[in-house]
Every structure is written in C-alpha cells, then in structure tokens.
Amino acid sequence: MNFFKQDNENTNFWVSYADLMAGLLFVFILLIGAIVTKSIILKSDLLSNKSRLQKNKTALELKNDEIKRLKKILLEKNTQLVSFSKKIIILQSITNDVNASLLEKERKLKDYEGKILVLSNELTDVNNSVKLRDKEIVKLLDTIGEKETRYDRLVEQMQKTKKSIKNLTGIRIKVIAELKKALGKKIKINPKTGSMRFSSSILFDVGKAKLKEDAKLELKKVFLQYVKALLSNPDIKKHLNKIIIEGHTDSDGGFLYNLQLSQKRAYEVMNYLLTLNFVKKHHLKDIMIASGRSYLNPVLDKNGKEDKKKSRRIEIKFTLKNNDAMKEIEKILDEKNER
C-alpha cells in the first residue's frame, strides 16, 4: 500500500516537472521567435536606410560635382574680373600720365611764351643800353689816363695805411714788452696779454669769497710792483685805460653759482687793493674794475682739457686807450674819402 502511494507521488513529480519544462521551452521558443522577428524587421529597416543613404550619397555627390563646376566657373569669372581691374588701373594710370604730361606741356608753353616776351623786352633794353654804353665807353677811354694816375697814388697810400695800422696794432706788444722789462723775472706775466695770475687756493678757502689774511701781504707786494711798472713808464702810462680784476672758477657746479662766487672774489680783491695807500695816492679807484667770469675762460692742459686747479684763479690785467688809434684810423679814412 505504501509502495503504490510512493510510486504515485513520484509520477506526479515528474509530470509536474515535465509540464514545467514544457512551459519553459515554449517561453524560450516564443523568445527566440520574437528575437528572430525583431532581427528580421531591423535588418529590413537597415537595408531600407542603407538604400536611402546610398541614394542621398549619390545625390550629394551630384550636388558636390555641381558645386565644383560652379566654383570653377566663379574662379574663372574672378580671374577675368581681376584681369579687367588691372587693365582698368593701367588705363587710368596711362590716362593720368597723359593728362599730367599735357598739363606740364601747357605750363611750359606758357612759360616759354612769358620768357619770349621778357626776352623781347630785354632785347629792346639791351639795344638801348648798348647805345648808352657806347657813349660811356668813349667817356671811359677819355678818363683811363687819369684813372691810371689815381691808381698809382692809391697803391702808394695803401702801403702807408698798412704801415700805420701795423704800428697801431703793435702798441699792446710794445706795452707788454716794456712791462716785462720793468718786472724782470720777479713777476711772471702772460706774454700775450700782459696779465698776471693768482691761484684761488692761495687767496681763498674752498667755496669761500673772503680773502685769507696770510695771502694779503703777497697780493699787496705783487700788485704794487705790477701797477708801479705800469705807471712809472711814460710809454706805458699814456696808453693805460683800465686795470681789471677778474675772478675765474672751474666748471664744477652751476654757472650762476660760479658766476656769483667769481664776482664776490673779484670784488673782495679789489676792495682790499683800494685800501692801499699807493692806490689812493694815484687815484686808481677811477680806473679799477672787478668782474666775475664764472667758468667761461678755463685754463686748458696740453691735451685741450680743462685744468681745474689752474682755472680757479684771480687775474689782474689792463686795457689800453684806443682814442689815439681811432683818431689815426679816422684820419686815414678821411684822407681816402677826399681822394
């Protein structure tokens, strides 16, 4: 009894299992069928799309060919247009050149017409002038003999004038020579100007304009010898005009600063010299002048560069009267004008 019951249960199990497997198989077959159907549909759509794309590609290639043909035509037209433009520019340039040439020729023609008119007038004037010149030539031939005589006299007078001017310009040289002779080797003076020089470092402290006390004695000694030599010699004294005290600096610093410093130093030296009894006795105050020159007249070394140490200096110099010279020159000029 139990055996039949167990056999029946096993049979039911396998029947259920078979049904289950049959159901799964059916589902699998349906799934496969659906996949195959979908694949066939997709393949059909793909072929349809591929055919449509091929047609579109063919149409696009035809359009590209048409576009290339149109581009080629457009390029040819542009080339023709550029060629035409160049020809137009060349024609315009030729036209401008022709117009300019015509204007230039027209202007030259007017100039030639004006010149012809002027030459015609000048020719008339020349003819008239020739007639007058003929008369003048006759007069000139009559006066040639007289002119030759006057020329000889003028040459002679010119030689005398040159000699007089040479004598006048030699006055300063003579004065300097007399001054050197009087001073000898005691005081060194400039052989060209006759001036004597004092170094600023001896007379003043750096940047100062107050005269050093220990420098006053030497300044007094040298100045008096210099002035006495000028005044004691009648050949020098009669030509003496002014005694000048000049202050000079080097080029360090600004021009105005150096100008003020050089002026103060020149005034300081002159004020001291004016206190000397000899200066008062001979009334030299009336002919003494103080002047600052800043760095306008530097002393140069052998290479042409500024010697700053020597440029910082006080110079004492003199000027000569030129009244006699001017009168002599005026006399010579008056004599020439009278002739």
Q: What is the pLDDT of residues 133-155, one digit of tens each?
A: 767 766 776 676 676 677 677 77
User: 228: how many CB neighbours lie within 10 A of its CB?
Assistant: 14
Under 8 Å between Cβ of 260 and 323 = no
317 within a domain of the structure (yes/no): yes
Element (H, E) at 245: strand 240-248
DSSP secondary structure code for residue 286 in this structure: G
Q: What are the Cα distances from residue 153, in Å, to 164, 328, 337?
A: 17, 20, 13
The separation between CA 121 and the C-alpha centre of its own chain, rounded to angstroms, equals: 49
120 within a domain of the structure (yes/no): no
214 within a domain of the structure (yes/no): yes
- State the pLDDT at residue 45: 81
pLDDT in tens, 181-235: 878 777 788 888 889 999 999 999 999 999 999 999 999 999 999 999 888 888 7
Helices (H), the chain: 2-169, 171-183, 200-203, 213-232, 234-237, 255-273, 277-281, 308-311, 323-338
Which residues in 139-158 are b (16+ Cβ under 10 Å) and which e?
A: eeeeeeeeeeeeeeeeeeee
Whether 261 has a pLDDT exceeding 70, the answer reads: yes
Confidence band of 164 (pLDDT split at 50, 70, 90): low
DSSP secondary structure code for residue 287 in this structure: G
CA distance 196 to 301: 18
- State the pLDDT at residue 320: 83
**Structural domain tally of the chain?**
1
45 within a domain of the structure (yes/no): no
Only one residue has tokens 């170094």, namely 199
- State the pLDDT at residue 325: 55
225 within a domain of the structure (yes/no): yes
233 token code pair = 């010699």
CA distance 282 to 288: 12
CA distance 32 to 29: 5
The separation between CA 275 and the C-alpha centre of its own chain, rounded to angstroms, equals: 53
Under 8 Å between Cβ of 309 and 201 = yes
- Non-local (6+) Cβ contacts of 85 within 8 A are none
264 within a domain of the structure (yes/no): yes
Which residue range is the domain that position 238 belongs to? Answer: 173-324
Whether 162 has a pLDDT exceeding 60, the answer reads: yes
297 within a domain of the structure (yes/no): yes
113 within a domain of the structure (yes/no): no
Give the type of residue at 172.
R
- State the pLDDT at residue 130: 64
Q: Reduced to 3 states, what is the DSSP secondary structure of residue 249? A: coil
Q: For residue 181, what is the domain's CATH number?
A: 3.30.1330.60
